[in-house]
Amino acid sequence: RAHRTTARVRLGTAELEVMVDPVQPPAPGDEVGVVVDGRRVVIFPGVGSAAVRPA
């Protein structure tokens, strides 16, 4: 699909691959977050980047 974004994120010793597959095209500044081990992993669809923040 055209809007699928995959980003790799390192949490401590673990490396996660997180994929977002939105139905609608992402708008600039859109973000999708999941909480993993007390930290929020934020993905920016369409950019392919990710950030880790406190949950």
Outline where 1-55 has alpha helix (H).
Answer: none
Distance CA 44, CA 7 (A): 9
pLDDT at 55 over 80: no
pLDDT digits (tens, 9 = 90+) for 4-49: 777 788 878 888 887 777 777 777 777 777 787 788 888 776 666 7
Whether this model's pTM surpasses 0.85: no
The residue type found at 40 is R
pLDDT, residue 47, reads 67
pLDDT, residue 2, reads 64
Give the structural domain span for 50. Answer: 5-54
Cβ pair 41, 33 in contact under 8 A: yes
The residue type found at 52 is V
Number of domains, the chain: 1
Distance CA 11, CA 3 (A): 25
